[in-house]
A and B are shown apart, each in its own frame.
Chain A
Amino acid sequence: MVLQKGGTQAERDQQAALELGGGLKGRMAGSFCVLQSSVEAMQHYLAAKTDPDVMQELTPVLAEMEQSIAYLSRLCANAADIALAYTGGFCSEKMPLELTETLTRLVNCVGEELLARKLDASLVLDDHVQEPLWLMADTGLVDALFANLISNSLRACPTPATLRIACLPGREPLYTDNGPGLRSTLERTCLIQGVPTPETLQQGQLGLLLVHQYANALGWTLRPENGPASGFRLRILLPPFVPPAELTLHSSAAATENRNALQRLCLSRELDGTLGLIPPKEP
């Protein structure tokens, strides 16, 4: 679904307002927001109003509720993305994006998340091109694709987990990790063609399928590789950059700050839903 270009200003405003609802995912997000905030409000209220003994009993229960909601929220969002991919396509608004800048911000976000979660892991960006890498892309889909790759790697890799993104000549960035790599031809097929593996169908493991769907929506081609060392190697073939007729760069300080915050939120939610919530700080 893309903003209609025609119509009066009032009609375009009305459509823009409707799109803020976010469709199927938006409806889920609204309900999960009520659920999540209810648990949080209960935690705070009980901490302030009840005896410490009662709170000690309730704390693990409420923490479990909070974690389950995070898992469920992520699972529902992923299921909605799979459904959207097979039915009508994602809400996709492509805009000019400089990928190296996006990946630099992503690396910073990941660093903060790894520190907050006390994970023995690192994500490094190797820029071998040192030139801007422009493409037309939906930033939400780019964030979601990399968030899924990273959370898959963090679950699969031994510690210390080493993740790398290399920007190489020829518009073919390479993502690698030091994990076990793809376990079967079926997983390769899932990544390349979007064909679900038995694990996908029987155990609900959606990671590789989602990465394929996001890449497909972006017009990217995924090519898993075998390398000299073990580990997961994924080459991403980017389409050529065709600048739009009217170029609008979202470059104000407020826009950049908000963009960074949204990227961090996407990653944080993915990791909350796969690795668990960040434990609250000790008082």
Chain B
Amino acid sequence: MQLKYKRPEPVPTLFADAELGLRNTIRIYAASQADVEIRATLATGRQVLAALQAGPCPEVLVLDALLQDMNLFDLLAEIGRMELKPHPAILVTAMRLSPQQQDRLLTAGCDSFILKPYSLNMLFAMVVNHAADSQAFTQRRVDRLLDWHLSALRADFSSKGVDYIRCVMQVLVPAGSAIPFNELYEQIAEGEAINCEGVVTAVRRTIKQLQSRQTEEYRDMCAYYGKHSEQGLTNAEFLSLLAQRVRQELRG
């Protein structure tokens, strides 16, 4: 199995299987690779729930279908009720799965399955591939790409305006479609316990600062709209173009 995306940091993962031998081999295998960090190897469903409640939330959960203390569907339901943010990808390991069972598992919150006996190489590759699609990983990638652009624009990372721009990008970049900016400003304002106008002003002030820096990145953004850099960009122009560029880079 080919890895979809080679990420620099290991994927934090919880592994649960009633079989002690398998938990031991997972630990040994994990010690000699760097793509997956096995946070814990657990034997029961209740241990899984306790680990998730204690936090921090792993990016991937590998759950065997036959944990002795809990029915798998009950466990998936409990995990769903926890409303974990970001929600981990869930892989189920099982002896056999009919299409009906597969469908039930997918409906219950499972993302994928692997049948026993499995290759550890394949299992770990699946963990990495599912993490590559995970919400947490996407958020971190957006942040990193954004940091690069903001650095190129010589932004002041300590300013509130940059924080608000980051929040907007986290929604706008994965969305891939137009979202009214007022809605985003209102959400940020609610979270900050300030009024919407405060958010708009902070973002505008930051963009004005970036204009004053007259970096090559800023001039390039203005040129995209057919504008001279002295004319400056509106909030909407700046945010839309930044989101577009980060989205393109995210897709590779």
Task: Give chain B interface residues in 3-46, CB to chain A under 8 Å.
Answer: 19, 21-22, 25-26, 28-29, 31-33
Most chain B beta-carbon neighbours within 10 Å: one of A14, A38, A47? A38
Task: Give chain B interface residues in 66-98, CB to chain A under 8 Å.
Answer: 66, 71-74, 94-98
Size bracket, chain B contacts: 35 or more
Contact of B208 with A by CB under 8 A: no
CA distance A19 to B117 in the complex (A): 17
Size bracket, chain A contacts: 35 or more
Report whether A37 and B96 are in contact in the complex, using a CB–CB cutoff of 8 Å.
no
* Interface flags, A252-267, vs B, CB<8A=1, else 0: 1011011101100100
* Interface flags, B102-117, vs A, CB<8A=1, else 0: 1110100001111111
Task: Kindly provide the distance from the CB of A29 to the nearest chain B CB, expressed in whole angstroms.
Answer: 4
Q: Which chain A residues border B225 with CB–CB below 8 Å?
A: none
Task: Give chain A interface residues in 105-139, CB to chain B under 8 Å.
Answer: 138-139
* Interface flags, A226-265, vs B, CB<8A=1, else 0: 0000000000000000000000101010110111011001
Checking B71, B103, B112, B121 against A250 with a beta-carbon cut-off of 8 angstroms, the contacting residue is B103
Contact of A26 with B by CB under 8 A: yes
- A-B contact list, 16 entries, CB within 8 Å: A13-B74, A20-B66, A34-B25, A36-B118, A37-B22, A40-B121, A41-B32, A45-B28, A45-B32, A93-B100, A95-B99, A140-B96, A255-B106, A258-B113, A259-B99, A261-B113
Instruction: Given A13-B71, A20-B65, A45-B29, decide whether A33 and B118 contact each other with a Cβ distance below 8 A.
Output: yes
Most chain A beta-carbon neighbours within 10 Å: one of B33, B95, B115? B95
Task: Kindly provide the distance from the CB of A193 to the nearest chain B CB, expressed in whole angstroms.
Answer: 28
B-to-A contact residues, CB < 8 Å: 19, 21-22, 25-26, 28-29, 31-33, 65-66, 71-74, 94-104, 106, 111-121
Instruction: Given A44-B29, A252-B106, decide whether A93 and B22 contact each other with a Cβ distance below 8 A.
Output: no
Given contacts A26-B95, A140-B96, A248-B103, 13 further A-B contacts (CB under 8 A): A16-B104, A27-B95, A29-B96, A29-B115, A37-B22, A37-B26, A40-B121, A44-B28, A250-B99, A252-B106, A254-B111, A255-B106, A262-B102
Contact of A73 with B by CB under 8 A: yes
